[in-house]
Every structure is written in structure tokens, then in C-alpha cells.
């Protein structure tokens, strides 16, 4: 039994003081007792929070950070030209590269304050599309990285069939992703075997890549493959994507999904940045999560999520780091809120009458992230996973603060340097701001990407 004592903690019942958190051998919170005095054997922290799940990641893209910011001879750069550069990059990736990059990404997520990760994993095969001898080789590498870093993992192998709504064949850059529905089910079996090497908190889910990349009949079928498991899909990220789906299928992507996919709380719709007001209200009513990656969405020019309307309609949200060009819990939350302010010429856009902006955001994203990850966490409560985040209250921007204002300062003035300790399902992985295996993980990453970056 490990014990964490916090001077102040944000629990399911709100802010409490002198909290003793007992963590069982199974990684769950066994007891949570307020009004306690610290004991000599306790791990002591000043302020304890639930650690949110990172709801969307493509780990391999981390190694591309900073390499796609030139326009060259193109009159305009956009998501689609960026995607071509991404395809060139992934042509060079081996399973060893993927494992080393994923480990760095997971380490950086923990150091940023995330307690778990949802990996939307579509890089399955060799560069020419030939499967590895082990169909789930790449999924196994993501699991191996989680075994090294200790980060709680929800693995979503991705079903990717076509290059567009017209069912054109996958391009040279996409053939590494491709599976039909039958081979995809075998891939899931292999991924499930890989996850058995991890803790009991590891989760397997499914992910049809997008409306443009999967046949309509398989979009409906894939949700039944793993009953009760998370289902994630890219939807309505880019204006040309909306136009393609509308022309081919007669409806905007979110409207088509609402009418045809029986959306429910198991679903997470990623990058729903292109929605009309009626779609926003309808999506909120389903209980599905809107998975947002504000830093990447800004980087790729996706658009601004209709967050105020969605949250006020009771919608559920989560954040992820997607391309992982910058992994920061505080900055993802800040970008989400400030994008609303810029669009609407407002302030405190996502606050409500009872909670500050930071508190309302943090509450929504911890609960929504846990739902999207299929993870029994999201708040500090008995029997929930011990996904814990301790902030350094000696930081100059937190000194003397308390209550909701701490979250406001973390989000709007803070960064990863405010993160002091992080636990994932009771595993104490970040101490004094650094992952316990930082040097080893960084060295492996540096060796892996040195040649990769030289040729892009």
C-alpha cells in the first residue's frame, strides 16, 4: 500500500485539505481520507489533482516536430501539403524507430501531467504495404513503449481501407495503413495479446479512421467488434473533407455520423472543428466525446471548435496532443479557451456562474478524457485508478494561490515546469518534474531519429 498525503486535493467532492490517498497494489485508490496529518512514510505533495488522459495521439509524428514549416515553391501550404511530407517521413520508419519515438512521447505526456494516453495507431505495415510476419508488430511496439514508460495505454488500432470517399486505392504513402475488415479483426487479436504484457489498466478499442477512409458498411460493423470498448473516429477536421463527404454521401460528416452510426458515450469524435450549430447540439445530446487537439488543430489550420455552444449544451470534451509537436496539458487547455475568445471577442468563454475558466475546463477534460480512454479515472475517488497529478506550489506563478485560481494560473500562466509528480494507475513515474527513466528514454530516441531527420 502506497500513501500520498496532500495539503490540498481536488476530489470528486471538491477541494479538501489534509488528504490521505491510499493506493492499493492493484493501482486503484483504496481509501481517500480528508483532515489527516502527514505521516513520516507518506509521499507528501502540496496540491493533488486527477491526472487527465491524453485522448488522441499519433506518436510517430513527434519526430517531425519543426520539419514542416517551409512553403517552398508552393503558393500556399495547408493540411494536405503537410500530409504529403508526413507520408514521406513515415516511409523510413522501422518498428524500432516507432517504439523509441512512442516511449519519448509517453514520457513527455507524463511530464506534462497526463496520466494515460489514447494512441490512435494507423501505422501497421512495411513501407510497401506488406504486413510484418507478426501482423500486430507495430501495435506491439506501442505496447512495449508503454511497458517501458509506465503510462496507462488505451490502444486503438485503426481501420483504414481507401484513399477517399470514392474508394480509390490507397496511395504510396498510405499503403502502410491498409487493412480490410477481416485482416483488421486479426490485427486486433494481435494487439490484444500485446496488451496482456501491461497492467490491468490497459485498454483496447477500435478506430475507423474517418468517413473518407472506410466503407459505410464497415463503419457500422466495426463498432460491434469489441462491445463496450472505446470507438474513435476522425471527423470534420478540414473544409475540403466536409465537401468531399457531402458530395459523395449527401450529408456533412457529423450529420451523416449522427444519422447512421448510433453515436453513444463509447464514441469519441476527433477534430470536430467543422460543425454547424445544429450538429453541435445534436452531438452534445449523444453523450459522445468531442476529442480536441487545439495545438495541432491550430498548426494545421483546421479551424476552431464550437466549444462554448457545445459545453453549454451539455457536451463532453477531451484533449489530446495528436501530432505531438508540443506536448503540454496546460497549453492544450489554454489554446482551447483562447481560441474561443479570439473568435468571439470575449473573455472567460468557458467559465460558468459557479466555476472559473480553469476549473470548468479541467473538470470537463478530466472526465471526458477518462470516458474517451475507457478508463475508470477522471476524478479522485475510491476504486478509481490512481491517476494523480501534483503541482509544484512553490512555483513563482502558484505561490500563495488556492482553490480554482490554482487551475487558472496553471492553464493561463503555466507550463510543464509546474508539474511535480505524476502517477498512472498508482505507478509513481514522474518525481521532481522528471520521468524516472528520462535519460534512458531520451538516449534511445536520439539514436533513433538522428538519421530520420537528416533526409526530410
Strand partners, 319: 292
Q: How far apart are CA 21 and CA 6, in angstroms?
A: 8
Question: Is residue 271 annotated as part of the catalytic site, yes or no?
Answer: yes
**Catalytic hit among 125, 271, 395, 435:** 271
Query: Rounded to the nearest 10 degrees, what angle do helices 357-373 and 329-344 cross at?
Result: 120
Strand partners, 389: 49, 422
**Catalytic hit among 201, 322, 392, 421:** 322
Grid cell, residue 170, equals 490507397
Q: Is the dihedral of CA 149, 155, 158, 159 positive or negative?
A: positive
Tally of residues, the chain: 456
Question: Is residue 435 annotated as part of the catalytic site, yes or no?
Answer: no
Q: How far apart are CA 95 and CA 109, in angstroms?
A: 21
Q: What's the Cα-to-Cα distance from 174 to each of 54, 124, 126, 129, 417, rounded to whole Å? A: 25, 10, 11, 8, 38
* Three-state secondary structure readout of the chain: CEEEEEEEEEECCEEEEEEEEEECCCCEEEEEECCCCCCCCCEEEEEEEECCEEEEECHHHHHHCCCCCCCCCCCCCCHHHHHHHHHHHHCCCCHHHHHHHHHHHHHHHHHHCCCEEEEEECCCCCCCCCCCCCCCHHHHHHHHHHHHHCCEEEEEEEECCCCCCCCCCCCCCCCCCCCCHHHHHHHHHHHHHHHCCCCCCCEECEEECEHHHCCHHHHHHHCCCCCCCCEEEECCCCHHHHHHHHHHHCCCHHHHHHHHCCCCCCEEEECCCCCCHHHHHHHHHHCCEEEECHHHHHHCCCCCCCHHHHHHCCCEEEECCECCCCCCHHHHHHHHHHHHHHHHCCCCCCCCCCCCHHHHHHHHHHHHHHHHHCCCCCCCCCCCECCEEEECCCCCCCCCCCCHHHHHHHHHHCCHHHEEEEEECCEEEEECCEECCHHHHHHHHHHHHHHHHHCC
Nearest to 88 by CA among 370, 452, 432: 452
Q: Which residues are catalytic?
A: 271, 322
Amino acid at each position: 500500500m502506497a500513501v500520498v498525503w496532500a495539503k490540498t486535493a481536488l476530489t470528486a467532492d471538491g477541494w479538501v485539505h489534509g488528504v490521505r490517498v491510499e493506493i492499493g497494489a492493484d493501482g486503484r485508490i483504496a481509501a481517500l481520507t480528508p483532515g489527516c496529518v502527514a505521516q513520516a512514510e507518506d509521499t507528501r505533495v502540496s496540491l493533488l489533482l486527477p491526472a487527465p488522459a491524453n485522448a488522441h495521439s499519433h506518436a510517430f509524428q513527434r519526430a517531425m516536430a519543426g520539419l514542416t514549416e517551409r512553403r517552398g515553391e508552393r503558393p500556399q501550404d495547408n493540411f494536405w501539403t503537410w500530409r504529403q511530407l508526413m507520408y514521406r517521413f513515415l516511409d523510413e520508419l522501422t518498428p524500432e524507430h516507432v517504439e523509441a519515438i512512442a516511449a519519448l512521447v509517453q514520457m513527455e505526456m507524463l511530464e506534462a501531467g497526463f496520466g494515460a494516453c489514447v494512441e490512435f495507431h494507423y501505422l501497421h505495415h512495411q513501407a510497401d504495404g506488406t504486413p510484418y510476419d507478426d501482423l500486430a508488430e507495430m501495435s506491439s511496439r506501442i505496447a512495449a513503449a508503454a511497458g517501458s514508460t509506465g503510462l496507462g495505454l488505451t490502444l486503438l488500432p485503426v481501420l483504414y481501407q481507401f484513399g477517399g470517399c470514392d474508394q480509390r486505392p490507397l496511395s504510396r504513402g498510405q499503403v502502410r495503413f491498409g487493412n480490410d475488415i477481416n485482416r483488421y479483426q486479426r490485427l486486433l487479436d494481435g494487439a490484444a495479446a500485446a496488451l496482456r504484457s501491461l497492467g490491468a489498466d490497459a485498454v483496447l478499442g477500435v478506430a475507423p479512421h474517418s468517413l473518407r477512409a472506410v466503407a459505410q458498411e464497415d463503419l457500422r460493423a466495426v463498432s460491434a467488434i469489441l462491445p463496450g470498448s472505446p470507438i474513435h473516429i476522425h471527423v470534420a477536421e478540414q473544409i475540403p473533407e466536409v465537401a468531399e463527404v457531402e458530395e459523395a454521401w449527401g450529408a456533412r460528416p457529423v450529420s451523416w455520423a449522427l444519422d447512421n452510426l448510433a453515436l453513444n458515450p463509447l464514441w469519441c469524435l476527433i477534430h470536430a472543428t467543422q460543425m454547424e450549430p445544429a450538429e453541435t447540439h445534436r452531438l452534445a445530446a449523444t453523450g459522445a466525446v468531442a476529442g480536441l487537439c487545439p495545438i495541432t488543430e491550430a498548426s494545421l489550420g483546421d479551424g476552431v471548435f464550437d466549444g462554448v455552444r457545445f459545453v453549454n449544451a451539455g457536451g463532453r470534451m477531451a484533449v489530446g496532443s495528436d501530432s505531438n509537436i508540443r506536448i503540454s496539458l496546460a497549453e492544450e487547455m489554454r489554446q482551447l479557451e483562447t481560441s474561443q475568445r479570439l473568435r468571439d471577442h470575449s473573455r472567460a468563454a468557458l467559465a460558468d456562474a459557479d466555476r472559473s475558466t480553469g476549473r470548468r475546463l479541467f473538470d470537463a477534460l478530466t472526465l471526458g478524457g477518462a470516458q474517451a480512454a475507457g478508463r475508470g479515472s477522471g476524478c479522485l475517488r475510491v476504486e478509481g485508478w490512481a491517476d494523480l497529478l501534483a503541482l509544484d506550489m512553490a512555483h513563482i506563478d502558484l505561490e500563495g494561490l488556492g482553490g480554482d485560481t490554482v487551475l487558472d494560473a496553471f492553464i493561463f500562466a503555466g507550463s510543464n515546469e509546474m508539474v511535480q509528480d505524476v502517477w498512472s494507475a498508482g505507478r509513481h513515474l514522474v518525481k521532481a518534474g522528471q520521468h524516472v527513466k528520462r535519460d534512458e528514454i531520451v538516449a534511445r530516441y536520439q539514436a533513433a531519429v538522428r538519421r530520420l531527420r537528416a533526409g526530410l
